[in-house]
Structure 1
């Protein structure tokens, strides 16, 4: 296995390959890989996915990945680390923090294209085409323009990861459930706003319809989704911050550290401290 490093806040690269390097790679950064053209197989964490033109993949520092190229493939690579995201959060704090959390909390995601929102596909294609053009022409301010494009791409990725969280969300999923998911994510630190009565009132739908509709669209009940979403946030903090367990419990409105420990152990089979020790070695 080859470990690769990133020495700049972000890097962009464009390659046309007939054969992908044989070594299995593990990065110390996040990598977005866009298929400009070509076909083949993405291999990530021993899972396989057939790729084609227009697919966008997110590879995280926890992922082991490679590609099998079936027809000559044009790859676009965008590599960035969490420090790049944190640096940008000074200018747009709340939005960028959410963006970082979306990426980090889904550190162990399934293989496949992350673009679940149809309208984002041509937008991503256009942004990447413009980055390649700026990179090739090297006109004045090209680096600053590329950085703006990169920020937009990361924002779109965050949106698509957010839409992907429930296991049964598809491209045909109704707009209302996507709005409900966004509402939940915005109010995850305010449990009073997440009561079913509040949600149904906010969207002007009956309580009974809300429950049936949400379960049909996502495969989870409203409360199951909220609980699982909070678990992902806990995992992100355990793996990517120095926050104490009681601080995480307070932030996510658990009654105390003991309550968080009980909930976490029920779902993960170990308490948060054991989880942190096991996966941050």
Structure 2
């Protein structure tokens, strides 16, 4: 399978085509794809999803996809890497967490977002703005970032309905989404709290998770948190103190322990 590699932190493109020119492929970056107009089908991991004017898709590096176009279609692509996500984001951590929650949750990648009419109108305006800014990305860097943060907020409140994919049950998808949402709040990820949220007993929570995933709940949470922390450290934009505060950890030594021991 073809794999596209992007080295720039962010690329914005828009184009209109009547037939799709790319083979099935994956990539090393994330993509937010907006259908400005047109209709057809979007094939993601061999799952066929119809698309129409105003639809929006989010893909991660693990997804393979291509389009089958029925009616002349205008696509707008936002393609960005982890490096772009973890740029200098002073005073915007909550918004970055919205975006990170979206792009790290596979549940959001396998269906188009179902937006309300008002949100569809707002998203259309945001993409119009991004198109006008794309010709001078460095000059408009801050404005582009603001549009992406606004877009992530809208998408988060329009999460796709949780549907079973592959061997994962609807309940397990909900549990994964819960973990990804509350990864910054350790108290919410304790088995008794999670069990109460899903109306099951605390004694059942751990075995249920392991039976369906092959790993323990504790191991999954630790590994997911470790991945996010390592990405922040690799960006060079966060101090250990900032990371500890964001993830609800006691101090910098706790961050170091997560990275070096787990």
TM-score of the superposed pair, with normalisation by structure 1: 0.59
Distance 2:86 2:58 in 1: 18
Please list, as runs of the form range in 1=range in 2, the aligned pairs for 1:112-127 lying within 5 A after superposition. Answer: 112-116=111-115, 119-127=118-126
Q: How many residues align?
A: 208
Partner SS state of residue 100, structure 1? helix
Distance across 1 between alignment mates of 2:62 and 2:93: 25
Aligned match of 1:153: 151
- The 2-side partners of 1:195 and 1:252 are apart by 18
Judge which range, 186-195 or 39-48, deviates more.
Answer: 186-195
Contact 1:35 1:53 in 2 (8 A): yes
1:117–1:239 CA distance, 2 compared to 1 (3 A): farther
Task: Say if 1:222 and 1:93 are closer, same or farther in 2 by CA, change over 3 A.
Answer: farther
Structure of higher RCO (CA pairs closer than 8 Å, 6+ residues apart): 2
Query: CA offset at residue 242 of structure 1?
Result: 5.9
Please state how far the C-alpha of 1:124 moved relative to its aligned partner: 1.0
Question: Over aligned residue pairs, what C-alpha RMSD do you find?
Answer: 4.1
- My pick for the range that moved more, 145-154 or 44-53, is 145-154
Distance in 1, matches of 2:48 and 2:98, equals 29
List runs of 5+ in structure 1 lacking aligned partners: 169-180, 200-210, 215-219, 244-250, 254-272, 274-281
Question: Which one is further off, 187-196 or 140-149?
Answer: 187-196
Distance apart, 1:121 and its partner CA: 1.9
Return the offset for 1:53.
0.4
Q: CA deviation at 1:27?
A: 0.8
Query: Hey, what does 1:176 align to over in structure 2?
Result: none
What is the rounded CA distance, in whole Å, between the counterparts of 1:142 and 1:18 in structure 2?
31
| Equivalent residue number for residue 107 of structure 1 | 106
Distance 1:25 1:111 in 2: 15
Alpha-carbon offset, residue 190 of structure 1: 1.3
**Matched residue, 2:33:** 33
Gaps of 5+ in 2: 165-177, 210-216, 232-246, 250-261
User: Is 1:131 matched up with 2:134?
Assistant: no
Q: CA deviation at 1:21?
A: 1.6
